[in-house]
Amino acid sequence: MKFTEKDIEQIASKNLTVEKVNAQIQLFKTGVPFVNLKDAANIGNGILKFSETEKNQAIQFFENRRNEKAILKFVPASGAATRMFKFLFQFIQEYDADQESINSYINRNKASELSLFLVGVEKLPFYNQALSKVKKFIPNFNTLSQDEKKLEFIKIILETDKLNYGFYPKGLLPFHQYKDHVSTAFEEHLFEAALYASSNKEADLHFTISEKHKNIFDAEFKRIEEIVEAKTKTKFNISFSYQCQSTDTIAVTPKNDAFREDNGNLLFRPSGHGALLNNLNQLDADVIFIKNIDNIVVSKYENEVAEYKKMLGGLLIELQEQAFAYLHKLEENDLSEKELITIAEFLNTKLHVVINIEFEKYSKTYQIEYLREKLNRPIRVCGMVKNEGEPGGGPFWIKDESGNISLQIVESAQIDKKNKSQKRILKNATHFNPVDLVCGIKNYKGEKFDLNKYVDPKTAFITMKTKTGKDLKALELPGLWNGSMAYWNTIFVEVPLITFNPVKTVTDLLKATHQINE
């Protein structure tokens, strides 16, 4: 596609190149191929299930090693809370108090989420703050009818000149109501990190945030730093980064032409959480825990959650130490056939790497090179939770174009659901991915891997969006824990549902793991 001089300037201002943008447009034209599922990963077939003894051994292994390691917790936290309040925005837009009651609106629209919100509103962590605010703005609030009170309460939460929660960073919203204070998700991550993502009484946390929110995150840390450090006896080192503009992708029309805004400019969009690979690649630590900003619990559940994080961390360190020992041996180039087979068996049984059936026919030199290449990669241990409802994206065995079989975290959008065999494999899925990862990003010499070398670029996503009422196609980069980690060594371990407590909608805050008195 030919671009004007103005276009080229705009592309350069985002640290992108014309070649890169044209490659993105070509991807829209050719389409992103579906993944080829070979089988669903389940217990005994790609997913480990620890006994209580094995769990405790892994935890102990982690505790024995943690003070020798540089540990970091990486928290994607750039999202605003807009989706959490989507049903409330819809209600405000559609509801006409002169025409019907709120109860009538709920029944007519089957608005069960709104009903749950109104029934449980006093248990929400921001209830007292919002009530105080609404009474300040509406002095006669107590004389209003019940429906009027509910309507004004919702408005005070959403309106931009009031609490403006819908456009607040999710990490800084009131999440949990304790007896003496209200905590944010950001604060809860600090308490959690002290339990498992700290060494030598120091905890390093890295949050990816929107640049416009940096000041309020700084202010929140300043407000709680002394309190949290005193309670946990841990010093916190907090760092932030932003999604690079160079990871934005061009939007196109349904006909795959560059989408232009009303002023004639090209439209670029953030490319999903896969863009955060650049942020992860800048970090320097031996062990990195990855967990989303909204996946936290109130204090009484923290120790149980932390146990499973330590279990995953212990397994990572143990496997990494063995892999490193074998890599040092492989450097000697003087290994017996038996030793080579032992290393191949470790790759196969412990790291779930499918060894080429021709391996034993290779020359010894090539066997060593093959094993070294398979072993010397970033490594991740991923917690997997049992499906509670319909299976969606999660852990699968996939076969790539070269016939290589590997364990991957696959989103449902990557699967061809019109293909009967693929749909059958999807239905056989027993677990899903709660974004619960522990990663090793250094090699056996202590050098950082360049994580960009382990991405499968063909696992991008194309989605349909709208802008000012016009349809467009958007491109998301391979997901951070999906195609961005396609060529990592991957181990899946079952973890219980208690470890997965995301807040996707505001009513999730009414669940037991987010309520102090449940």
- What is the rounded CA–CA span in Å between residue 462 and residue 179? 46
| pLDDT value, residue 422 | 95
List the pLDDT tens digit at each of the 518 positions of the chain. Answer: 789 999 999 999 999 999 999 999 999 999 889 999 999 999 999 999 999 999 999 999 999 999 999 999 999 998 889 989 999 999 999 999 999 999 999 999 999 999 999 999 999 999 999 999 999 999 999 999 999 999 999 999 999 999 999 999 999 999 999 999 999 999 999 999 999 999 999 999 999 999 999 999 999 999 999 999 999 999 999 999 998 888 899 999 999 999 999 999 999 998 888 889 999 999 999 999 999 999 999 999 999 999 999 999 999 999 999 999 999 999 987 899 999 999 999 999 999 999 999 999 999 999 999 999 999 999 999 999 998 765 556 999 999 988 899 999 998 888 999 999 999 999 889 999 889 999 999 999 999 999 999 999 888 888 888 888 889 999 988 889 999 999 999 999 999 999 999 999 999 999 999 999 85
As to burial, measured by CB atoms within 10 angstroms (0-12 exposed, 13-18 middle, 19+ buried), residue 318 is middle
CA distance to 124, 494, 498, 501, per residue, from 512 (Å): 12, 22, 10, 10
Please say whether the beta carbons of 395 and 505 come within 8 A. Answer: no
Q: Please, how many CA atoms are within 13 Å of residue 28, restricted to the half-sphere of its CB?
A: 24
| pLDDT value, residue 491 | 98
Q: Write the DSSP symbol of residue 32.
A: P
Domains of the chain, residue spans: 31-81+187-318+429-514, 83-167
DSSP-assigned states of every residue in 71-122:
EEEEEE---BSGGGGHHHHHHHHH--TTT--HHHHHHHHT-HHHHHHHHHGG
As to burial, measured by CB atoms within 10 angstroms (0-12 exposed, 13-18 middle, 19+ buried), residue 251 is buried
- What is the rounded CA–CA span in Å between residue 133 and residue 451? 47
- Torsional sign, CA 362, 365, 368, 372: negative
| pLDDT value, residue 175 | 97
| Whole-angstrom Cα Rg for the chain | 25
DSSP-assigned states of every residue in 113-169:
HHHHHHHHGGGSTTHHHHHHHHHHH-TTGGGS-HHHHHHHHHHHHH-TTTT-GGGSB
For 282, phi then psi, to 5°, come to: -85, -10
CA distance to 12, 354, 406, 438, per residue, from 42 (Å): 46, 16, 14, 20
For 126, phi then psi, to 5°, come to: -100, 10
- What is the rounded CA–CA span in Å between residue 277 and residue 282? 9
Domain 31-81+187-318+429-514 sits in CATH at 3.90.550.10
- What is the rounded CA–CA span in Å between residue 244 and residue 224? 29
Token pair belonging to 197: 């993502």
- What is the rounded CA–CA span in Å between residue 495 and residue 324? 26
Please say whether the beta carbons of 383 and 495 come within 8 A. Answer: yes
- What is the rounded CA–CA span in Å between residue 162 and residue 92? 15
Spatial neighbors of 287 by CB under 8 A, at least 6 apart, are 69, 70, 71, 72, 313, 316, 317, 438, 439, 440
Helix residue ranges per DSSP H, 236-276: none
CA distance to 83, 118, 183, 308, 506, per residue, from 513 (Å): 20, 20, 14, 16, 14
- The closest of 187, 204, 174, 161 to 71, measured between CA atoms, is 204
